[in-house]
Amino acid sequence: MFRIGAAFLFIIALTAAPAAAPADANPFGIFYGRSFTNIEDYSSPGALLVAGNCNRYDARFQAARARGAELLAYLDPIDVYDVIPCKLNVGFYMGGRHNVPLWPYPAYGTRSSYKNTRMTDIRVGSPWVDHVVDYVAQLMREGKVDGVFLDNTSARLWGDVARWSTWEQAEKDAWTLGAVDLVRRIDEKRRQINPRFLIVTNGFWDRGDKLGLAGEKYVNGVVLEHSRFDEWHKRYAGRAFSNLGQRRVLVIARDTADAQLWARLPGVTHVSDQDKYAAPNKPPVPYSSSGGANAGR
């Protein structure tokens, strides 16, 4: 009877559905607006916060850091606003929109990747790139943030407004090479000033060929924003990125259930279920004691 019972239980074990793996990812919250709703829930070891254009130096962020959270400063080096949103952002944009070198194709200042903005000149050697690198280097020296969240910085532009598919190949290549060189130079600065400083970019360094892939080795990781939970995106979330470690792969999921799904994927370190970025919801997953054990940190 014992042998039959044991065999029966063994068969049941083989055929039963496996239990869901515990989540390794931690929550992260984006605070682009004036609200600091739920910031206490993102003020713990393992949490990651993203400050907006205008609130980077708020004391509540520093309090969260003191409790063990990491803080990234949002910057968009790819676009300049028609109207600069606040005094703090004026310095990043060289004193105002009309001082920023703009993307020169197909004619100077005509490209836009988002409403009420113009694309900046991120070509290799551009004075704008020099300025962005110096600005981020100053953030490293200040020590008031743990890194930067570089929006729209990747191997190509993905939004409909930019109409990337209509660009001439030479223009596409100039943009991709500029984006790679931008993160290369920021990485060079952080290795000199503070190797613990995080560089996270929003977008993919794979544009379908090899030209943009070099950008991956200069960043700690990327953001997957409302991406499908399909094989391509799951594979990309497992990429190695910088050899400095401190790997960060952030997923802004489509809803809470989606965030919880992504949180169990090896390689993902932080998840959010935000649909609006003024302030986050309650954390979509509990904090992980492993702190992203599958992340390769």
One digit per residue, pLDDT tens: the chain, 297 residues? 333 343 333 333 333 333 334 458 999 999 999 999 999 999 999 999 999 999 999 999 999 999 999 999 999 999 999 999 999 999 999 999 999 999 999 999 999 999 999 999 999 999 999 999 999 999 999 999 999 999 999 999 999 999 999 999 999 999 999 999 999 999 999 999 999 999 999 999 999 999 999 999 999 999 999 999 999 999 999 999 999 999 999 999 999 999 999 999 999 999 999 999 999 999 999 998 765 433 433
The reported pLDDT for the residue numbered 15 is 34
What whole-number distance in Å separates Cα of residue 22 and Cα of residue 74? 30
Assess if residue 1 is contained within a domain: no
Half-sphere exposure (CA, 13 Å, Cβ side) for 10? Answer: 6
Instruction: Examine residue 113 and state whether it is found in any structural domain, yes or no.
Output: yes
What's the pLDDT score for residue 295? Answer: 40
If one counts the domains in the chain, the total is 1
Instruction: Provide the pLDDT for residue 291.
Output: 55
Helix (H, G, I), strand (E, B) or coil at 274: coil
**Residue 85 included in any domain:** yes
Amino acid, single-letter form, for residue 49:
L
Query: Domain for residue 10, yes or no?
Result: no
Q: Is residue 42 a part of any domain in this protein?
A: yes
Q: Is residue 11 part of a domain?
A: no
Asked whether the beta carbons of 198 and 146 are under 8 A apart, the reply is yes
Domain coverage including residue 283? 24-290
Q: pTM for this structure? A: 0.90
Kind of pairing, strands 70-75 and 79-81?
unpaired
Residue 18 lies in a domain: no
d(CA 44, CA 287): 9
**Tokens found for residue 247:** 């790997």
Maximum separation of any 2 CA atoms in the chain, in Å: 86
pLDDT at 93: 97
3-state secondary structure of 65: helix
Q: What is residue 288's predicted lDDT score, i.e. its pLDDT?
A: 86
Give dist(CA 65, CA 280) in Å, integer.
17
Report if residue 58 sits inside a domain: yes
CATH of the domain at 226: 3.20.20
For residue 293, give the DSSP letter. Answer: G
In the structure encoding, which two tokens stand for residue 12, read together?
């049941």
Q: Say what the pLDDT of residue 2 is.
A: 30
Is 270 in contact with 27 (CB distance < 8 Å)?
yes
